[in-house]
Chain A
């Protein structure tokens, strides 16, 4: 039951973007269309799940004083691996995400989960926490991406819906990201009040 709770937390209740409000920088930057949002989500999921897994596995041999540098080494190793793999097999996506892939290293969701969860919990729980948090991140990022792309560019996943001339360009610019996140947060809060 505990495992289910660990997995479930990241989806809505402790959604990293819309509830904990961490890792917003890449969210603002790469959510201007749905494809980038999905690609970023996959990269973050890979790094988050792997780093949670490794941190949980080695938590007993890591001295307290140097845990943060060791987390960073682990995280940056997985980020570099995903960067290489993207360059080799998903070149288009690599161009689209640009500098935001290396910046996953300093994404607070990943370091936050390593410090707050994986360092104190068994491997299986930590992996589930990683999966749940990644799904929550993906859910938030892709919804923001879809909303911004539809309203701002008149398309979804690159498929044209209506003439982009009547679309609100502001939605694919930074203010559009803030507006979308604000509305989604409000909707989530409202929903939670009703459900609970």
Chain B
């Protein structure tokens, strides 16, 4: 019995030291981490809306090949102004190429009147049809959110 208690106490001491150390590191990295997250959002908003920063930025997360693709769509006067992928879990080397501007720039200027379908008015990424289709549906969803009156 005495031995078990001794082992437990030793283990507890290690846990406390570790927790203390982590709390200390957390204390001085946390403000920076929060600032980073905020800055990243502001930057992406500016990226999708351009220099003048006019219009609305809509966050959508369509389902990709292996999880949600969170993206920010900047829309002004019913037209897509810019897109940025915030986070995704697509296959590296294939689906992950949705973040490339060569793919995303195709959507600029699209409106609700456009099809926004891969292989029709959008060139899909080779080997990543599902990821490409997900981005398309995300853009359509964002346009609907921004352009159609609420409640419909």
Contacts and interface: CB of A to CB of B under 8 A. Distances in A.
A186 to B, nearest CB: 24
B36 A70 contact: no
Nearest to A95: B87
Contacts of B14: 70, 73-74
Interface residues of A, number: 28
Given A70-B11, A85-B29, 14 more contacts: A33-B92, A62-B10, A76-B18, A77-B21, A81-B22, A84-B26, A84-B29, A85-B25, A87-B29, A88-B32, A88-B36, A91-B40, A172-B94, A173-B93
Interface in A69-83: 69-70, 73-74, 76-77, 80-81
A69 B18 CA distance: 13
Contacts of A32: 92-93
Identify which of B6, B25, B40, B126 gathers the most chain A CB atoms within 10 Å of its CB. Answer: B25
Contacts of B10: 61-63, 66, 70
B92 A65 contact: no
Interface of A: 32-33, 61-63, 65-66, 69-70, 73-74, 76-77, 80-81, 84-85, 87-89, 91, 95, 98, 152-153, 169, 172-173
Interface residues of B, number: 25
A91 B36 CA distance: 8
Nearest to A173: B93
A66 B11 CA distance: 7
B48 to A, nearest CB: 18
Interface in B52-93: 87, 89, 91-93
Nearest to B26: A84
A173 B22 CA distance: 36
A43 to B, nearest CB: 15
Identify which of B14, B26, B127 gathers the most chain A CB atoms within 10 Å of its CB. Answer: B14
| Shortest beta-carbon contacts, A-B, top 3 | A172-B93, A88-B32, A88-B29
